[in-house]
Amino acid sequence: MNKRLMLLALACFVLSASQSSCSSDSEESNNGQQAITGGNVTAPIIDWPISEVQRTEAQPLNDFALRLTRQLWHKANGSIVASPLSMAVALSMVIEGAEGETRDEVVKALGFSPDRHNALTDICASIQHGLSVHDDSLTLELANSCCVNQKYRLYREYSHIMSNYYDANVSTMDFDNAGAVASRLNEWCKEHTKGLIPQIISDDAIDERMVTFWLNAVYFKGLWVWPFPKEYTQKGAFQRMAGGMVTTVPKHIMHLTNRLHYLRTDDYAAVELPYCGSRFVMTAVLPHSADGLTTLLSGMTSARIAEIHTLMKDEEVELALPRFSVESSFSDELRTALQDMGVKRLFSERAQITNVSPDASLFVSMMLQKACIDVTEEGTEAAAATLIGVSATSSGRHKVFNATRPFLFYITDSMTGLILFTGIYNG
């Protein structure tokens, strides 16, 4: 199937601009017409179900997911949850309007060759087209919206991609009324994350220089194939790492004995928990020592994850897993992580985001992501939202998996092999 549509992903972008520049071919005012002919953009192509070649080509996104998780964990004081896929797709939306070194740096950070940036957007488009699922036991919803400052225009070609390939409802608002804009964006975010993320932006973060907000949201709720019996949940000791020291804290520990995909190596154990339908799974990777997570993360790559799942065997497992909820909010950590991956121009006035608006050249000045996850006896509920702000230039016996020390977890889509959410639980 060949159809053009862009992956919605989970994010909220902001393009902000001062009065300026490059409007020689533009009208004098918006007058409700936000689009004008111009710009240089190429729409992605959808193929769904994705081919085996695309599945292989998409694996760099898992490497990006693990690198980002590692960077965020290094700066965290406790448990974290994030959606690196959301960030990756959000960035792919940005580079639709970028060119030159700015685009190349982002594409390389996401693991792709600069001359293969179209492969990135094609993969994202294919994922968007087929990733959403709705049934009684599993829901995955993706949504997108584009809100434009009425003082500014988008290039018609870029607006067309937002509407037709990203499936975004492009609308205009008076950004002088910051309260009204924030209220609309937050209500949209609350609606599309089922109330899990009720606020993505505050009034004081909005001013008249901003050009566009792209809001993207992802919501996931899945029931386990094999629920944890509630009567077996009891308080137990969890070893938390803090400041290089191990402390013990009480946590509610869920228990389950069942046949599960399981692997044990010299360094860690891994177990796979499928959601109903078995397309989506949560994997927990547990180092053998409470202080082993940093070493584990340093060696985690997409190839290692593929190897884990290849080597797993169907075993009778006695599983102990904390019942947990984690909420995370990242801002400067995202910029720092991307800069460490080589993304420099995107955050400077040398950024070449020139194919979005005829009224301003843009650079990224702000990045945020909020994410949350709730893991219970019945299943998992998770959501995330990202905000990017851009300003103008001026064996026969039970195996034991006792997750009572810090561990890595991630939720994957077995059809594409891609990681949707990652996290560290640290008590």
Confidence tier at 27 by pLDDT (50, 70, 90): very low
Asked if 11 and 387 touch (Cβ cutoff 8 Å), the reply is: yes
pLDDT of residue 356: 82
- List the domains of the chain with CATH numbers: 12-223+326-392 (3.30.497.10), 230-323+397-425 (2.30.39.10)
> Rg (Cα) of the chain, in Å, rounded?
22
Q: Is the pLDDT of residue 305 over 90?
A: yes
pLDDT of residue 397: 63
Confidence tier at 7 by pLDDT (50, 70, 90): very low
Rounded distance, CA 291 to CA 426, Å?
A: 11
pTM for the full model?
A: 0.89
- Residue 100, sorted as left (phi over 0), alpha (psi -120 to 50) or beta, turns out to be left
Average the pLDDT over 326-344 and give the result: 95
Q: String of b and e for 1-31 (b: at least 16 CB within 10 Å)?
A: eeeebbbbbbbbbbbbbeeebebeebeeebe
Quote the mean pLDDT of the chain: 86
**Signed CA dihedral, 144, 150, 151, 156: sign only:** positive
Q: Is the pLDDT of residue 113 over 50?
A: yes
Asked if 201 and 182 touch (Cβ cutoff 8 Å), the reply is: yes
Percent of residues, the chain, with pLDDT higher than 90: 55
Asked if 6 and 44 touch (Cβ cutoff 8 Å), the reply is: yes
Average the pLDDT over 149-173 and give the result: 82
Burial classification of residue 278, based on how many CB atoms lie within 10 Å of its CB (0-12 exposed, 13-18 middle, 19 or more buried): exposed
Q: Which of 120-129, 273-282, 356-365, 398-407 has the highest mean pLDDT?
A: 273-282
Q: For the segment 340-385, what is each residue's pLDDT rounded down to a tens digit?
A: 999 999 999 899 989 888 887 788 878 888 999 999 999 999 999 9
Q: Is the pLDDT of residue 21 over 60?
A: no
Q: Report residue 343 as tokens.
A: 């993304």
β-pair partners for 147: 171, 213
β-pair partners for 13: 214, 388
Q: State residue 288 phi and psi, 5-degree precision.
A: -75, -15
